Structure 1
Amino acid sequence: MDNAPVRIFFAARVQIACISNAMPPTKPETPPATDARDGNRIAKLLARAGIASRREIERMIADGRIAIDGKVIDTPATILQSLRGVTVDGNPVQAPAPARLFLYHKPSGLLVTERDPAGRPTIYDKLPSDLPRLVPVGRLDLNTEGLLLLTTDGELKRQLELPSTGVERAYRARAYGTVSQAQLEDLIHGVEIEGVRYGAINANLERRTGANVWIEMILTEGKNREVRRVLEFLGLKVSRLIRTRYGPFLLGDLAPGEIGEVRQHDVVAFRRDPTRNPPPEHAKAPPPRSRGDRTAAPARTDRPVRAPKPGPDAADPRKAPRAVAAIKPKRFYDAKEKGGVTPVKPTRAPIRSETSARARRTATDPRRKDAARDGGFIDKPRAATPGSRPARPSKPGGTGKPRPPRTRR
């Protein structure tokens, strides 16, 4: 058997292996990724510093308003480690402060814009003047009211607005017309209206009031007039629209026109978990602790006040829980004290009526027949009443007659 073909194949295989070992391995060419330690784009840094949004900063760069160490830049892709030496309109940019977030109850009739060419009122006309520069998170229509988030940080604004983040927005809408719960449940699959695709909407029929219905809607995107267009697609006419929640931030009892700031640790918690939402009102209470986990209760500093006993016509108190309320500390003031008001210790004496006060005043009146007489008490035996036994003599062995009873005039 001729082994020549086998030797030739083996030699060729060894030669190919030697060539492959001599050549270094090659990697596919990929564009180098920008590491956060290498820096960030100037538009991102300026937006984080609260100068403006990224889009507005790009316009400012195109207009030649931003410079680095006196040299005007012409591209928003400039990578920087910090904002040192950066100026906007000749003014140096300060280091970015921690992001601040505000909750504003936008009233109806205000535009969410910095200025309006038609001269209509905007939210900035109503905000306090001592606030920092704030940019709105999303938009609310002219006639839409409710919760509007305002922030000093452009990155936080972007995180709140992006649909990919999955931040929920909750609305309550009052609309004229009729709709069924089945129609609202179909919105969970999304809907396309006039070529615009709207994502999943969790809608529930809250209640009916005459010819109107109240509907609660939860969505994760903020397209222009989305809620109104979807409800109009169902044959409803929206007469009032209120945004009650944006992510974990609630409108609560914030009055129209009022503004409040979110605590810093809540802002940090949101950035770590943007999809965190507040628990529903009907959430279950935490399970009771076992006996091994119980701790000593604090000493009682107040005394519970028990409810008064029910009358004979009241229901059986054993069938209803007894109302127990703790005494809250109060401060009582005496306005007649000179030099300002001073706290007065409360007393447990019962409140006296005007009748009892009048009795105290007239008790010492000498004109009254039952008033105390001069000379003190008279040591005389008490008059006998009809049908009673005769009084004993005042002296032993005496034979005095009992004194007749005194008649009243």
Structure 2
Amino acid sequence: MQNQEGIRLQKVLAAAGVGSRRSCEELIEQGRVAVNGIKVNEQGRRVNPAIDLITVDGDPIAAAAGFIVIALNKPSGVVTTMKREDERATVADYVANRSDRLFHVGRLDADTEGLILLTNDGNLAHGLTHPSSEVNKIYLARIKGAVTKTEISALTTGIELSDGFAKADTVSIVGATPGETAIEISLHEGRNRVIRRMCEHIGHEVIQLVRVQFGPIKLGDMKLGKTRVLNHTEVGSLYRAAQLVKDEAAL
């Protein structure tokens, strides 16, 4: 006997912005919708969007449960905290108009610019920052001096820091001017000031550090200090990166 409690699935999909009620019914008929990992292809299924994990083509319908993810291009000097601790600006200042309780996904130190994500889904924030997820982050760094191939190799082979071993996944030189070098560096760990400390270890001071990508989300051409709400597809890619939903092929 079908559960008569909850909300009709096609209504939840339409409310989440997936499409019109009719187009959502067609998605269900095509077997492209799953509830808690099980495909649904009959009409009339009722769900609780606050509890049930609803996906279309493997992408979670986060909006159905009121979940959002916001990207911020954090300026230098802004502290990654949702509570003001002193006179410095915080990431919370850039979303002060929202009533949601937001979590920052990981941290950027005050001197580092670039992409940081904010979400009201605590499970997503935890999943994206848990070491087991190995979510990759990409940074552009301007550092003092000319960097040698040996020094690049040291960054990818690994360096022993005061709080343990650290290594970059990839490092490449993307530009150089007299007195400084621009490098792109990717890694999946998130220790405090780890890139700055790794560069200092090989004898180079970081002049500027910008995070340009977090997992599948890129900073793109977002202006400094601006925010944007991620779309359905982008949010779905983050849930997969956090290992909170399986790929459609595995369902």
**Per the shorter chain, which TM-score range?**
0.5 to 0.7
Identity of aligned residues (%): 34
Q: Which has the higher helix share?
A: 2
Higher alpha-carbon deviation: 181-190 or 138-147: 181-190
Task: Measure how far apart 1:128 and its partner are.
Answer: 4.4
Asked if structure 2 preserves the Cα contact closer than 8 Å seen for 1:179 and 1:234, the reply is no
What SS does structure 1 have at the residue aligned with 2:152?
Answer: helix
What SS does structure 2 have at the residue aligned with 1:224?
Answer: coil
What SS does structure 1 have at the residue aligned with 2:174?
Answer: strand
Which residue among 136, 141, 144 is the counterpart of 1:173?
141
1:213 aligns with 2:213: no
- Per the alignment, residue 243 of structure 1 pairs with 211
1:122 aligns with 2:94: no
Which residue among 229, 232, 235 is the counterpart of 1:264?
232
Higher relative contact order (CA 8 A, sep 6+): 2
**Separation (CA, whole Å) in 1 of partners of 2:238 and 2:110:** 28
Which residue among 146, 157, 163 is the counterpart of 2:131?
163
Task: Measure how far apart 1:196 and its partner are.
Answer: 1.8
One-letter amino acid of the counterpart of residue 183, structure 2 = I
Which residue among 101, 112, 120 is the counterpart of 1:144?
112
- Per the alignment, residue 54 of structure 2 pairs with none
**Separation (CA, whole Å) in 2 of partners of 1:269 and 1:126:** 24
Task: Measure how far apart 1:211 and its partner are.
Answer: 0.4
**Separation (CA, whole Å) in 2 of partners of 1:167 and 1:273:** 7
Task: Measure how far apart 1:119 and its partner are.
Answer: 2.4
Asked if structure 2 preserves the Cα contact closer than 8 Å seen for 1:247 and 1:274, the reply is no
What SS does structure 2 have at the residue aligned with 1:178?
Answer: coil
What SS does structure 2 have at the residue aligned with 1:214?
Answer: strand
- Per the alignment, residue 189 of structure 1 pairs with 157
One-letter amino acid of the counterpart of residue 233, structure 1 = H
TM-score, reference length from structure 1:
0.42
**Separation (CA, whole Å) in 1 of partners of 2:68 and 2:84:** 26
Runs of 5+ in structure 1 lacking a partner?
Answer: 1-81, 84-95, 276-409
- Per the alignment, residue 69 of structure 2 pairs with 101
Task: Measure how far apart 1:218 and its partner are.
Answer: 0.2
Cα distance, 1:216–1:154 mapped onto 2, change above 3 Å: same
Task: Measure how far apart 1:98 and its partner are.
Answer: 4.2
What SS does structure 2 have at the residue aligned with 1:126?
Answer: helix
**Separation (CA, whole Å) in 2 of partners of 1:195 and 1:105:** 29
One-letter amino acid of the counterpart of residue 187, structure 2 = L
1:204 aligns with 2:204: no
**Separation (CA, whole Å) in 1 of partners of 2:165 and 2:193:** 13
Asked if structure 2 preserves the Cα contact closer than 8 Å seen for 1:112 and 1:136, the reply is yes
Runs of 5+ in structure 2 lacking a partner?
Answer: 1-49, 52-63, 244-251
Asked if structure 1 preserves the Cα contact closer than 8 Å seen for 2:138 and 2:211, the reply is yes
- Per the alignment, residue 52 of structure 1 pairs with none
Task: Measure how far apart 1:271 and its partner are.
Answer: 2.0
User: After TM superposition, which residue ranges in structure 1, 4 or more long, deviate above 4 angstroms?
Assistant: none
Aligned ranges 1:321-400 → 2 under 5 Å: none
Which residue among 139, 154, 157 is the counterpart of 2:122?
154
Aligned ranges 1:296-311 → 2 under 5 Å: none
TM-score, reference length from structure 2:
0.67
Q: Which has the higher strand share?
A: 2
- Size of the alignment, in residue pairs? 182
1:158-199 deviations in Å (ceiling 9; x for gaps): 111112212110000111122212321232222211242214
